Amino acid sequence: MVNCLLSEDTIAQAAAALAAGQLVAFPTETVYGLGADAENPAAVAAIYAAKGRPQDHPVIVHLAPGAMLSHWAAEIPEQAHMLAAAFWPGPLTLILKRAANIPDAVSGGQDTVGLRCPAHPVAIALLNAFKGGQGGIAAPSANKFGHVSPTLAQHVREEFAADNTVAMVLDGGPSRVGIESTIVDLSRLATHGPVLLRPGQISADAIEAVIGQRPQAADAAAPRASGTLESHYAPHTPVAMQDGATLAATLAQLSQTAHKVALIHIAEFAEVFASLRMPADPDGFAYALYAALREMDGRGADVILVEAPPQGADWLGVNDRLRRAAHGSHGIVHGLLNSALP
């Protein structure tokens, strides 16, 4: 009996679908992934097609616990072994020089590969069943390119409802972490040291504590990461983020208009069209974030207003995702106030 929420038959069926080149969506502790056999270029190409994602964006390869890193990476620095030992299975992706046999499609043509062992019983059962635990499952988040990442199987079904491209969606319940893995680039250690390409639950402090070197913020020459595009993780409704005092004033002004406001907040505010109160701690906020954006997006509001969370290091991942969700909506509040004038 596989020790996860799903039957051994279901896991075997999903592993067989992957081996046959099909796409299988599966839960991880961060967000749901849209998986394909990482060593089958046609299957990986099908992920790009399903997501509507540009071909030159690399995807993360998910590995079973204890998988052979040397099959996937050409150079494995000591720091990679230390971080894998400390955080895998878990929400950390390592960027390493890729091995020669890794298809171009996986790395978006770059000379690196992103590797991670996820900490979710369903993901681990699937990885153990797929190619006897020796395969890799290439998987970006299971959402259309640029849209909000899914933290429930239902979100994945909604994303791909109109398509016929996903063979199976494995339901493993809500993703425990709620935002994507921390990405650390170890492929240019000699020249750049470790580089933090995407903040997540595993902080720069935690990484420094293990390898004795603090990962620096990404520079222009860092490997490209689509999750680092300015506009990403965005609902269809425009999103604006404001600190509490500014937000209270905005709400007072908007209450004089007919505009519908959906509010995502921590503190107490005046009643609006729709609202969702978030946990006041960073892990709780991250856990609830994507479901909150999706729910507020579904209300038919004119704007989603978000109370800016605190700025501390623990909040880096949450603030990063919110900033990107709001990126396309500069001036939205100003526009709504102006359009309400007689």
60 contact, one of ligand TXA, Mg ion, none, CB 5-8 Å limit per kind: ligand TXA
Q: Are 112 and 94 in contact (CB under 8 A)?
A: no
Beta-bridge partners for 239: 304
Characterize the bridge pairing of strands 60-63 and 136-138: antiparallel
Q: How far is the CB of 94 from ligand TXA (least distance, A)?
A: 10
CA separation for the pair 32, 297 (Å, rounded)? 19
Nearest CA among 59, 101, 98 for reference residue 80 = 98
What are the backbone dihedrals phi and psi of residue 114, each rounded to the nearest 5 degrees, phi first?
-100, 125
- Complex with ligand TXA: residue 95 or 316, whichever CB lies closer: 95
Q: Kindly state whether residue 226 participates in binding ligand TXA, applying the rule CB under 6 A.
A: yes
Q: Kindly state whether residue 148 participates in binding ligand TXA, applying the rule CB under 6 A.
A: no
Of 11-19, 104-112, 158-166, 253-261, which segment contacts ligand TXA by CB under 6 A?
104-112
Q: Kindly state whether residue 113 participates in binding ligand TXA, applying the rule CB under 6 A.
A: yes
Q: Kindly state whether residue 114 participates in binding ligand TXA, applying the rule CB under 6 A.
A: yes
Of 6-14, 37-45, 205-213, 220-228, which segment contacts ligand TXA by CB under 6 A?
220-228
Residue 17, token pair as written in the block: 């679908």
Q: How far is the CB of 48 from ligand TXA (least distance, A)?
A: 10
**From candidates 128, 141, 175, 237, binder to Mg ion by CB under 5 A:** 141
Q: Which residues of 202-217 are buried (b: 16+ CB within 10 A; e: fewer)?
A: bbbeebeeebeeebee
- Complex with ligand TXA: residue 325 or 333, whichever CB lies closer: 325
35 contact, one of Mg ion, ligand TXA, none, CB 5-8 Å limit per kind: none
- Complex with Mg ion: residue 141 or 201, whichever CB lies closer: 141
The beta strands (E) that lie in the chain are given as 23-26, 33-37, 60-63, 92-97, 112-116, 136-138, 166-169, 182-185, 195-198, 216-217, 239-242, 261-265, 274-277, 303-307
Q: How far is the CB of 145 from Mg ion (least distance, A)?
A: 8
Beta-bridge partners for 141: 33
CA separation for the pair 89, 67 (Å, rounded)? 11
Q: Kindly state whether residue 159 participates in binding ligand TXA, applying the rule CB under 6 A.
A: no
- Complex with Mg ion: residue 141 or 203, whichever CB lies closer: 141
What are the backbone dihedrals phi and psi of residue 220, each rounded to the nearest 5 degrees, phi first?
-65, -30
| Ordered DSSP codes for 293-318 | HHHHHTTT-SEEEEEPPP-SGGGHHH
x/- letters, 80..99, toward ligand TXA (CB under 6 A): -----------x-x-x----
57 contact, one of ligand TXA, Mg ion, none, CB 5-8 Å limit per kind: ligand TXA
Nearest CA among 106, 133, 97, 99 for reference residue 41 = 106
Q: Kindly state whether residue 181 participates in binding ligand TXA, applying the rule CB under 6 A.
A: yes
- Complex with ligand TXA: residue 80 or 113, whichever CB lies closer: 113
**From candidates 10, 22, 28, 237, binder to ligand TXA by CB under 6 A:** 28
113 contact, one of Mg ion, ligand TXA, none, CB 5-8 Å limit per kind: ligand TXA
Q: How far is the CB of 187 from Mg ion (least distance, A)?
A: 20
Residues whose CB is less than 8 angstroms from the CB of residue 25 and which lie 6 or more positions away in sequence, other chains included: 32, 33, 34, 35, 142, 153, 156, 160, 166, 168, 169, 170
Q: Kindly state whether residue 201 participates in binding ligand TXA, applying the rule CB under 6 A.
A: no
Q: How far is the CB of 261 from ligand TXA (least distance, A)?
A: 29
What are the backbone dihedrals phi and psi of residue 201, each rounded to the nearest 5 degrees, phi first?
-65, -35
**From candidates 39, 159, 171, 180, binder to ligand TXA by CB under 6 A:** 180
- Interface positions with ligand TXA (CB under 6 A): 28, 30-31, 33, 57-60, 91, 93, 95, 107, 110, 112-114, 116, 118, 139-141, 180-181, 183, 197, 223-228
